[in-house]
Structure 1
Amino acid sequence: MISTYNFPTKIRFGAGAVEELADYLKDNNLSKPLIVTDPVVAGLPFLKRIAENLRLKGISVEVFSDIHKNPVKSDVYKGDEAYHATDRDSIIGIGGGAAMDVARAIVLRINHREDLFKYDDLIGGDIYVTNDVPHFITIPTTSGTGSEVGRSAIIADDETHQKKILFSPKLLAKIVFADPLLTMDLPPFVTAATGMDALTHNMEAFLAKMYHPICEGIALEGISLIHHSLEKAVINPDVDARSKMLLGSMMGAIAFQKGLGVVHSLAHPLSSLLDTHHGLANAVNIPYGMQFNMAGFEDKFRRIARTLDLKEETGESVVTYLFNLNSRINIPHRLRDIGVREEHIETLADLAIADFAHPNNPKPVSREDFKALYLEAL
């Protein structure tokens, strides 16, 4: 059954939802979309089917997929050129977090012609997002970032590798087609890494220091859905498990408008410096980040433990659960197993302290804390 949720973006959720795309475009007088995706998804059969189905209904389709695994500003500029060179009238982001980030940043770039990073939210650049933007549609193919329901894009500088955040309510998709069937063919590693990304979003959002009980309730339900479905989605997937993961992922992205924390600030530098998959970086770091946050927040960890159905409702039990979950879905416990070396630690610590996520962590994090956490996880 396909359901409609509005939160605030309209979401068409359920197996087969993507089949509604062509009619939606026609109903909105759109005939020339630019599909923005990544190089892997661009070559998959379902993407080709989506594009062919649109063409059969008289819709002109262009696919742009020249993007990095961890997006940089030049990706956005190339997408902007493709949009104008082929005279497009709308943008469809299809894929995981990287594709969604680039698609959303292109949406911004089309009618905002200053340097892209002038619009960096961390320096108040959102006030310059004043012009209209193209019609924007999102179609997730992973259950990780939840970017399909977001209003921000994370893009790194090509040279410094520092991540910038582009933000505006104008960057919300007009509609999301969330079809769990599109996630069924994901390989186990991608399912595991993106699933742990979604779990990290929900856990960090619940712990983030800003008071937002609505987001906290959503985060706890997201944790529960992922707890009951991630392992099955990785090892023996079915539509029910994939559906719960897709919902849990979107709930994490809705919840983290409350903020994120230390785990994301540990993970972002791994992606920008070493090109580590973002979900994998979060997965390896989350037990250590949760251990760091426990003292002083025992009540919140008690609620997380209860949501995870743990016998002992303690922070220590939550950390043990995370290590055990990583083991069950073949995520390594150590940074050295994903290419980090001791000579990287100082640079990683510099990037982490400059990252935008940790100011919302429930407790302050210093550069020395980041260095100690990296060394502990190494």
Structure 2
Amino acid sequence: MIFDKIHQFNFPTTIRFGAGVIRELPAYLKSNGLQRPLLVSDPIVATLPFFSSIVADLRTQGFSVVVFSDIHKNPVKSDVYKGTEVWDEEDRDVVIGIGGGAALDVARAIVLRVNHREDLFKYDDLIGGDVYVTNEVPHFITVPTTSGTGSEVGRSAIISDDETHQKKILFSAKLMAKIVFADPLLTMDLPPHITAATGMDALTHNMEAFLAKNYHPMCDGIALEGIHLIKDALETATHRPDVESRSKMLMASMMGAIAFQKGLGVVHSLAHPLSSLLDTHHGLANAVNIPYGMAFNIAGFEDKFKRIAKVLELKEENGAAVVNYLFELNSSLGIPHHLRDIGVGTEHIDTLADLAFADFAHPNNPKPVSREDFKALYLEAL
């Protein structure tokens, strides 16, 4: 009986949400006595007009701004080390992560490394490394510019080993942002293919969180509402973006990240190796794999899929209808149905299956997933 046990639930930080809220950033810095921000972003976002406007606004108001954006789209340990060197050399006093999941993960890992200088992967949560996160960390602010990972409200960073490509999780409640400035206007100029891929990432987070085997009814409710918002907004945000659709997607993205503290599952374990081995965009990897992963999970969890189908307002309230919806949604977004269309070949399958089985996400899947299951799913999706 779930009610015979004691459970702990955690929810995230202060979120300032709404069109134009980024204008509050300078006043927030001043009120907290912060003058020397390190802005961590990625090479693309750092060239965009809204980013230049943020930097210019801060400098006009007297802040000493340094930008670090030399990171990979699937971040690795060396990115974090380079960013920490910039922190040291430039004598910064606050980290502001601006961007999507990669930028925010690197920013969060830099926040950890500033006062924790042993090998970064000593702090890997999968080996209990969170117990070593004992020192104070710098002030940390997040500004999301995509609606996918929801990293802005998270307390973990996923960083890959440069050589083995295995993903590690750096986790601690100390790594949560002090405040999030979630401004949908910063997502308005995202190209359609990025909007689609990141949106499917948010949908995957919400669906997998709802199905995850851990007990967390608050996260279940958040996940279902996140699915509902995405159903209403993703296609519009991709093809005919407006402030309402972008706002719904940004909120749904944060909801997915809040919900997946309950756990993720088979889809993420299928997707992570594609990113680390083949440098596939994480959202795209999730998008292609989600119909196959959801189909794998139906048997034994029909009631859960009935609830998802109901939220999606499908005519048939069952798992097969959910899977069909996912294929149709991918088609409407211009996302392919097969792995071969995103660069995966038969020669990759065995290595992908090994990495997927070693991945951290699937132990929370509602049913066990073996290495042979992963291989079969990859082959089916190929």
TM-score, normalized by length of structure 2?
0.97
CA distance in 2, matches of 1:209, 1:13: 31
Paired position in structure 2 for 1:133: 137
Of residues 166, 179, 186, the one that matches 2:183 is: 179
CA distance in 1, matches of 2:336, 2:104: 27
| 2:358 pairs with 1:326 | no
Query: Offset of 1:8 from its aligned partner?
Result: 2.8
Alignment of 1:168-247 (within 5 A): 168-247=172-251
| 2:374 pairs with 1:377 | no
- Unaligned residue ranges in structure 1 (runs of 5+): 1-5
User: Are the equivalent residues in 1 in contact too, given 2:199–2:283 (CA < 8 A)?
Assistant: yes
Paired position in structure 2 for 1:315: 319
| 2:71 pairs with 1:63 | no
Paired position in structure 2 for 1:289: 293
Paired position in structure 1 for 2:361: 357
Of residues 260, 266, 279, the one that matches 2:264 is: 260
Alignment of 1:80-91 (within 5 A): 80-91=84-95
CA distance in 2, matches of 1:235, 1:29: 42
Paired position in structure 2 for 1:367: 371
Query: Partner letter of residue 41 of structure 1?
Result: V
User: Are the equivalent residues in 1 in contact too, given 2:350–2:375 (CA < 8 A)?
Assistant: yes
* Cα offsets for 1:167-209 (capped at 9, x unmatched): 0000000000000000000000000000000000000000000
Alignment of 1:16-95 (within 5 A): 16-95=20-99
TM-score, normalized by length of structure 1?
0.98
CA distance in 1, matches of 2:26, 2:11: 23
Query: Offset of 1:7 from its aligned partner?
Result: 4.6
CA distance in 2, matches of 1:47, 1:62: 13
Query: Partner letter of residue 357 of structure 1?
Result: A
* Cα offsets for 1:99-133 (capped at 9, x unmatched): 00000000000000110000000000000001000
User: Are the equivalent residues in 1 in contact too, given 2:185–2:243 (CA < 8 A)?
Assistant: yes
* Cα offsets for 1:254-300 (capped at 9, x unmatched): 00000000000000000000000000000000000000000000000
Number of residue pairs matched? 373
CA distance in 1, matches of 2:217, 2:105: 27
Of residues 340, 343, 352, the one that matches 2:344 is: 340
CA distance in 1, matches of 2:318, 2:218: 23
User: Are the equivalent residues in 1 in contact too, given 2:150–2:257 (CA < 8 A)?
Assistant: yes
Q: Secondary structure at the match of 2:143?
A: strand
CA distance in 1, matches of 2:27, 2:218: 34
Query: Partner letter of residue 293 of structure 2?
Result: G
Alignment of 1:119-130 (within 5 A): 119-130=123-134
Paired position in structure 2 for 1:154: 158
User: Are the equivalent residues in 1 in contact too, given 2:12–2:258 (CA < 8 A)?
Assistant: no
Query: Partner letter of residue 258 of structure 2?
Result: I
* Cα offsets for 1:315-359 (capped at 9, x unmatched): 000000000000001000000000000000000000000000000
CA distance in 2, matches of 1:94, 1:160: 28
CA distance in 1, matches of 2:381, 2:312: 24
Of residues 10, 15, 21, the one that matches 2:14 is: 10
Query: Partner letter of residue 235 of structure 1?
Result: H
Runs of 4+ in 1 over 6 A off after TM superposition: none
Query: Offset of 1:96 from its aligned partner?
Result: 0.2
Q: Secondary structure at the match of 2:271?
A: helix
Tell me the C-alpha RMSD between the 2 structures: 0.7
Query: Partner letter of residue 130 of structure 1?
Result: T
User: Are the equivalent residues in 1 in contact too, given 2:219–2:262 (CA < 8 A)?
Assistant: yes
CA distance in 2, matches of 1:102, 1:324: 34
Query: Partner letter of residue 56 of structure 1?
Result: T
